[in-house]
Copies of this chain bind each other. A is one copy, B any other.
Amino acid sequence: MTSPDHLVLFMPSGKRGRFATGTPVLDAARELGVYVESVCGGRATCGRCQIEVQEGQFAKHKITSSNDHISPVGPKEQRYDRVRGLPEGRRLSCSATIQGDLVIDVPQDTVINAQVVRKDADQRHIERNPAISMCYVEVEEPDMEKPLGDLDRLLAALERDWGYEKLEVDFHLIPKVQKILRAGEWKVTAAVYHDSQDTRPRLIALYPGLKNEAYGVACDIGSTTIAIHLSSLLSGRTVASSGTSNPQIRFGEDLMSRVSYVMMNPDGREAMTKAVREAINTLIGKVCDQGEVSREDILDLVFVGNPVMHHLFLGIDPTELGGAPFALAVSGAVHTKAAEIGISANEGARVYMLPCIAGHVGADAAAATLCEGPHRQEEQMLLVDIGTNAEIVLGNSTRTVAASSPTGPAFEGAEISCGQRAAPGAIERVRIDKETLEPRFRVIGVDQWSDEEGFAEEAAKVGITGICGSAIIEVVAEMYLTGIISEDGVVDGNMAARSPRILQNGRTFSYLLYEGAQKITVTQNDIRAIQLAKAALYAGIKLLTDKLGIDHVDRIALAGAFGTFIDPKYAMVLGLIPDCDLEKVKAVGNAAGTGARMSLLNRDYRREIEETVRRIEKIETALEPKFQDHFVAAMAMPNKVDHFPELQKVVTLPVRKVLEDATGEAGGRRRRRSR
């Protein structure tokens, strides 16, 4: 005789186990640790526990169809279907019971974003497991014979129905509990916060009746921009997103000027803390309006940001970050209540801030790491987030290292004569004809390239005002590929004979990209600024590859706004990034924001990134004697072309010819620099 138990397999997690006839599918899922939401506690009223059933029987690893392996739709499910509607093929797992071998699909409504769930990269699914659980209970009414307090009876019901022993209680609820219980006629929904197994679960909010929704906020506090997402903690769906400029900009454009502001002004820290918190409160209001969600329903918030943003947001004086040894006040994850830091949400709402990796490598880099997951894969992955500093993480599941390189603001257009932010009117793409040295380009806000019909008309409407970061990379790379500049980055004055676009300015030359209402040129100083920035970045990366003892990377993720817009090919031509199969170089967008959202929707990611950050080896570039050597060596472009098989592919034959001409060597090998 075979076992009376039935084999049940949950997809997509693949978790499986044997269960007796009549076991509710929800109970089986719970026992296996498959996350299936449920608010009503098995009363078939919340509809959160829906599943899809592939009936079946495991025979030689094949499922043969059969239709009696799950209980028929019962009266509770019929009632739910009548009242709220049950989609075709869906069952309520609290009511449907196991009657035979089964394959159960847990619908993954949660698509965090394409980067995370991309099938080609890894097959990981984002299972939700938020720190907040919504728990509906029916509480015993007061009884003079057993004079337990109202709260105590509520806690007893939460232990009885949801298994919460020794639940802690937020004090702010205590004066409210009697009114809420009576308003709900002794039926209430408790929001329980349980961030980690190491801590006791905590009652943080209480609603009369069945409360079938709860929301969370993920926020990336950038020096320039604050981005926010409002998500349902129960479905995982992102309900609304918004962003705004960081109002701290008025205290200082870049991080160090904000730190200086604090040093110079006794109230500087407080003013900046207030500014960023107010901006976030406004953004929360905005996404709540967009998503038609009440602020009161926000119960959990996750924040990321670089170390200075992290400190200022939390109300910590960032002065120590302004000089060696760049001591963070706190590097580990920070938990607090939203109310404690002046963030308006539910009174019991919790805040989680991801850990910082080092004094220059913040919670934003940690979140990007969590999103891209170098620590989860065998391949060597390089993750680069370029801002005023470039935050660099390199490694794989065996070993991961991180550093920050002082690239300066050149890549953001700040030290470039005609540089500007990516905005309408900014040149964003550039190509230079290798014969005529004439440029063609695209402008943000204009559909056509500059040599296409209709461009002039459209461009006139927008106005061409400058060059944004991505175009700076491209124009310098194109100038190099066309031989306008040498590998040392010097504009070749001899080229002036070939094109009127090579202009002389005293002892140096520049390249005229566009002449309209104003001249847009690339000067020798601009090229030097880019060289310095890319050399700093490359030297930082080199320190990390040295540390790991590897000579190549398998995969590159370019994070942040800059990473999103630059063309990886040009980044490689210029030597910003090391050689890598171009197919495996990806712009991953706001990976920090995505990492924040992952941490919001699944508390296990919090433990994962905390553990990862503890394991990451930190390299302080300023302390590494070889940094300077690497930096000097990386000033030229492209770095060691001969070591760049991928670059050799990129630089197609005619271009390689130019390269060969420029370097005076055959086969792309570059002559030894003589300095």
A residues sitting closer than 8 Å to B (CB atoms) are: 142-152, 155, 166, 168, 171-172, 174-175, 177-179, 198-200, 314-317, 320, 324-332, 334-337, 340-341, 356-359, 618, 620, 622-623
Contact = CB atoms under 8 A, between A and B. Distances in A.
**CB-CB nearest 6 A-B residue pairs:** A149-B331, A142-B327, A147-B358, A149-B328, A171-B336, A144-B620
Given A144-B623, A175-B314, A178-B317, A149 B325 contact: no
Contacts of A149: 327-332, 356
B150 A324 contact: no
Given A147-B327, A151-B330, 12 more contacts: A142-B326, A143-B325, A144-B325, A147-B357, A147-B359, A148-B331, A149-B330, A150-B329, A152-B332, A166-B198, A171-B340, A171-B341
Contacts of A356: 149
B198 A623 contact: no
Contacts of A179: 317
Nearest to A165: B198
Given A144-B325, A316-B175, A325-B142, A152 B623 contact: no
Contacts of A328: 147-150, 152
B620 A151 contact: no
B144 A331 contact: no
18 contacts: A144-B620, A144-B623, A147-B325, A147-B331, A147-B358, A147-B359, A147-B618, A149-B331, A152-B328, A152-B332, A155-B332, A166-B198, A168-B199, A171-B334, A171-B337, A174-B316, A174-B329, A178-B316
Contacts of A623: 144-145
A356 B358 CA distance: 49
A620 B175 contact: no
A172 B340 CA distance: 8
Contacts of A143: 325
A553 to B, nearest CB: 23
A315 B320 CA distance: 41
Given A144-B359, A144-B622, A622-B144, A152 B325 contact: no
A334 B173 CA distance: 12
A162 to B, nearest CB: 18
Contacts of A618: 145-147
A356 B168 CA distance: 18
A178 B320 contact: yes
A330 B152 contact: yes
A148 B361 CA distance: 12
A357 B179 CA distance: 22
Given A174-B314, A199-B200, A314-B174, A330 B150 contact: yes
Contacts of A324: 144
A329 B139 CA distance: 13
Contacts of A174: 314-316, 329-330, 334
A175 B315 contact: yes
Contact of A620 (B145, B332, B341): B145
A515 to B, nearest CB: 49
B359 A151 contact: no
